[in-house]
């Protein structure tokens, strides 16, 4: 067996992914949509379909579907498939293991974890998006203290099978320089929550995006996660344009990283590009920091081998995690795994050729990134 065949034989545990949206038949703008997080409709309809990664996905799908590699043909062929058969075929062709879904993202539009699990024929584990969970409690929780207690109870009381980790989108909303809230900041956070709640009650569009409030929620989530050693994922670096990219630099997370009582919590830095080297550096300082390249890998396509090689310059092998950040369309997860396989093979083959590692170490590195590290840090049983 060649190295890439051996890599493909390892089930890919996708530790950061979202269920695709419902509705099997897609048009071209929808098919292209996961390749940008722009909020501008003119971008969705525009030229980003010429990105090389998207073209590569079309080419690979054409091979799988045994049709000509053009966008319209591939789209028509996949639309004509039976939905369940199509999801299964994609999952089988990449040897997909379990999926770990951040399921409070695009909640109404997407399959539930259970529905998606049935489509895939595989387990789907759940991670709680903490800021959105608190937003959802506004009717039953009159005060911030009530909402934080609700969050703590949800994390503390959830059986392992029901909750395998937490997710924070602080990076999107306020930035990653999260601090322990002081007494006066907690008072400000309580007022901010009251304003948010009033907006909801009055029917105005509202979300939690005030720094003191987000910091308080994240800190509370860590206090609840620490006794269970429950992993907390952070959106890091590339994504949408909600805030400036430089506030998504993981080196801003000093307060969380240096806080000794939180050292039991695996802190998972998602996506990371273009801060993947910074993330690797942090992983050398803190044993509970894990570096992921989800979303990055499918988006940068042919650049993924270079970025993976750069990530491995400092990141300890035990602290590298592979995910896709699949969302919207099932093909994005499929393509993400495909590119991971390609990049791992390319990088590891070069390292073998250069005499840095041997073939068995190469397989160990692929296995650690794609499966073993994920199974070690998330509270998921190996079978059943």
Q: Which residues bind Zn ion (CB under 5 A)?
A: 270, 325
CB of 319 to Zn ion, least distance (A): 18
> Is the CB of 7 or the CB of 221 nearer to Zn ion?
221
> Is the CB of 87 or the CB of 235 nearer to Zn ion?
235
CB of 66 to Zn ion, least distance (A): 32
> Is the CB of 171 or the CB of 181 nearer to Zn ion?
171
CB of 273 to Zn ion, least distance (A): 11
3-state secondary structure the chain: CCHHHHHHCCCEEEEEECCEECCCCCCHHHHHHHHCCCCCHHHHCCHHHHCHHHHHHHHHHHHHHCCCCCHHHHHHHHHHCCHHHHHHHHHHHCCEEEEEEECCCCCCCECCHHHHHHHHCCCEEEEEEHHHHHHHCCCCCCCHHHHHHHHHHHHHHCCCCCCCEEEECHHHHCCCCCCCCCHHHHHHHHHHHHHHHHHHHCCCCCCCCCHHHHHHHHHHHHHHHHHHCCCEEEEECCCCCCCCHHHHCHHHCHHHHHCHHHCCCCEEEEECCCCHHHHHHHHHHCCCEEEECCCHHHHHHHHHHHHHHHHHHHCCHHHEECCCCCCECHHHHHHHHHHHHHHHHHHHHHHHHCCCCCHHHHHHHHHHHHHHHHHHHCCCCCCC
> Is the CB of 16 or the CB of 338 nearer to Zn ion?
16
CB of 325 to Zn ion, least distance (A): 4
CB of 373 to Zn ion, least distance (A): 18
CB of 237 to Zn ion, least distance (A): 10
> Is the CB of 138 or the CB of 273 nearer to Zn ion?
273
Residue showing the smallest CB distance to Zn ion in the complex: 325
> Is the CB of 102 or the CB of 154 nearer to Zn ion?
102
CB of 67 to Zn ion, least distance (A): 30
> Is the CB of 14 or the CB of 325 nearer to Zn ion?
325
């Amino acid at each position: 067996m060649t190295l890439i065949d051996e890599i493909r034989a390892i089930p890919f545990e996708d530790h950061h992914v979202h269920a695709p949206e419902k509705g099997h038949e897609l048009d071209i703008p929808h098919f292209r949509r996961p390749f940008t997080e722009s909020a501008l409709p003119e971008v969705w309809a525009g030229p980003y379909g010429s990105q090389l990664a998207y073209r590569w996905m079309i080419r690979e799908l054409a091979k799988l579907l045994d049709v000509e590699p053009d966008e319209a043909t591939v789209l028509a062929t996949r639309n004509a498939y039976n939905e369940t058969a199509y999801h299964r075929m994609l999952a089988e062709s990449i040897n997909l293991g379990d999926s770990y879904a951040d399921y409070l993202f695009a909640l109404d539009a997407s399959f539930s974890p259970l529905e998606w699990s049935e489509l895939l024929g595989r387990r789907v584990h759940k991670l709680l998006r903490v800021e959105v969970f608190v937003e959802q409690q506004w009717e039953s929780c009159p005060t911030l203290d009530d909402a934080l207690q609700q969050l703590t109870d949800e994390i503390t009381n959830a059986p392992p099978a029901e909750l395998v980790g937490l997710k924070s989108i602080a990076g999107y909303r306020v930035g990653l320089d999260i601090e322990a809230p002081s007494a006066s900041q907690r008072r400000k956070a309580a007022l901010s929550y009251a304003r948010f709640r009033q907006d909801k009650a009055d029917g105005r569009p509202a979300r939690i995006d005030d720094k003191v409030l987000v910091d308080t929620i994240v800190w509370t989530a860590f206090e609840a996660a620490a006794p269970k050693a429950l992993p907390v994922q952070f959106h890091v670096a590339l994504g949408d344009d909600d805030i400036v990219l430089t506030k998504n630099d993981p080196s801003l997370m000093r307060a969380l990283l240096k806080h000794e009582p939180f050292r039991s919590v695996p802190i998972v830095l998602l996506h990371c590009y273009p801060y993947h080297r910074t993330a690797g550096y942090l992983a050398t300082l803190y044993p509970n920091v894990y570096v992921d390249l989800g979303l990055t890998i499918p988006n940068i396509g042919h650049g993924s081998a270079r970025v993976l090689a750069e990530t491995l310059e400092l990141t300890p092998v035990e602290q590298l995690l592979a995910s896709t950040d699949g969302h919207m369309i099932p093909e994005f997860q499929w393509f993400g795994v495909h590119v991971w396989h390609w990049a791992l093979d390319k990088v590891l083959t070069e390292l073998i050729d250069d005499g840095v590692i041997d073939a068995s170490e190469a397989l160990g590195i692929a296995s650690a990134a794609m499966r073993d590290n994920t199974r070690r840090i998330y509270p998921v049983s190996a079978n059943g």
